Amino acid sequence: MELEPDTDEMKTLRKWILVLSCCVTLFIWSAQKKAVTVGDQGSRPFAQGITSMNEHNATIDEEKHTEEKQMKRRNLIYRQCEKYQVQNRLDKISSRTLDHLLVDDKHKLIYCYIPKVACTNWKKILVFLNDENHKYARVEDVLPYDAHHDTSMRRLSDYSYHEMLKRLRSYIKFIFVRDPMERLVSAYLNKFTKPYNSSVEFQKKYGTEIVSRFRKNPTQEALRNGHDVTFREFLRYTVDYKTLESGPSNQNEHWRQYYHLCHPCLIGYDFIGHYETLMEDAVHLLKMAKLDHLVTFPAPLPEQGKTNLFMPDYYKQLTKQDVAAFWRVYVVDYLMFGYQGPKHLHKQANE
């Protein structure tokens, strides 16, 4: 087939198409070069912005999760207070029963300490925060003895009724708890198996009484020193009617029930920490109190937090009757703070 010769119009059209193609190619090349330049200079801040946004969202999600967890713990306490009709009026209890509530007026904190639930480290933090003489460069520099015997630390019982109310309404109130049986084992290990001077004194005071009441044919040495108390003897003493009849305020702090030590139905704690999630909960509490820029919770020592490893050996010493008696005394603590009940205890005792 014979092609028609080009007209002037066709030549002009082809010329403009060629020019347009060159322009498009030049535009694409320029755009790509600009993109590479922007990528080299600006992609890092942009990526950092995305990372920062993701971290911010993660922080919000974490705070939301923490608050939801705390709400569940507070609601659980409230329900048990209603169920067991636990005293919740400040004017109806003796102020001396509030001696475990430590007050930090400077940072508006109230902490109820429970022995064998990381209370030494929390006391160290309070001493460090209120160190007017700046003796301590770090929390770890506060010695355990100083933490437990610091005379500048005030207790809620030191204040008048109206001053107590004012602080309870405006301060952050917190508490840390653990499985009650595990706490009792921890107290036993500390007071009856360690060679501390304080432990020897404890054995003289309580061990001798335990041996005389719960051991058949004790030796004179055991009656004199109380140094070889078994865990079962110790548990039987803590839940025995004769021990309990003197009243909660006369019970030793190492086995007094949480709800008698810290009055959760009265205080209305803002933060309830668990020993089982100690480090995580401690971080959240310090953030909540806006103290995380001043202090961090001390990492546990290698020998700390190992009580759960010994639990099976101590459960094996118990009978079903022992477990039932323990449950009757500590049932409110178990239910208030969400720990497993008697089936768990019976199972452990019989394994």
**pLDDT-based confidence at residue 6 (cuts at 50, 70, 90):** low
Query: What pLDDT, on a 0 to 100 scale, did the predictor assign at position 306?
Result: 80
Average the pLDDT over 111-129 and give the result.
96
Judged against a pLDDT cut of 70, whether residue 73 lies above it is answered with yes
**Cβ neighbour number for residue 237 with a 10 Å cutoff:** 19
SS3 label, residue 172: strand
Instruction: Say if residue 321's pLDDT is above 70.
Output: yes
Structure-block tokens of residue 281: 């909960």
Nearest CA to 168 out of 96, 88, 248 is that of 88
Q: What is the pLDDT of residue 25?
A: 56
Reported confidence tier of residue 341, pLDDT bands at 50, 70, 90:
confident
Comparison of pLDDT for 325 and 19, the residue scoring more:
325
pLDDT band at 37 (very low <50, low <70, confident <90, very high): very low
1 pLDDT higher than 50: no
Mean residue pLDDT of the chain comes to 86
Alpha-carbon distance of 238 to 337, in angstroms, equals 20
The order of strands in the sheet holding 172-177 is 154-155, 101-104, 109-112, 172-177, 271-274
Separation in Å, CA 16 to CA 11, 25, 29: 9, 14, 20
Stretch 318-328: mean pLDDT? 93
pLDDT tens for residues 202-228? 999 999 999 999 999 999 999 999 999
Task: Indicate if the pLDDT at residue 35 is higher than 60.
Answer: no
Contact 173, 70 (CB under 8 A): no
pLDDT per residue over 152-207, tens digit each? 899 999 999 999 999 999 999 999 999 999 999 999 999 999 888 889 999 999 99
Q: Compute the average pLDDT of residues 102-122.
A: 97
The pTM for the full model equals: 0.82
- Evaluate if residue 141 carries a pLDDT over 50: yes
Mean pLDDT computed over 93-108: 93
Mean pLDDT across 289-298: 96
CA atoms of 209 and 224, how far apart (whole Å) = 10
Q: Taking the chain, what is the end-to-end CA distance rounded to the nearest angstrom?
A: 101
Instruction: Give kind and range of the element (H or E) at residue 177.
Output: strand 172-177
The pLDDT assigned to 197 comes to 85
Helix, strand, coil % over all residues of the chain, rounded to 5: 65, 5, 30
Residue 305: what pLDDT? 72
pLDDT beyond 70 at 66:
yes
Question: Greatest CA span in the chain, whole angstroms?
Answer: 132
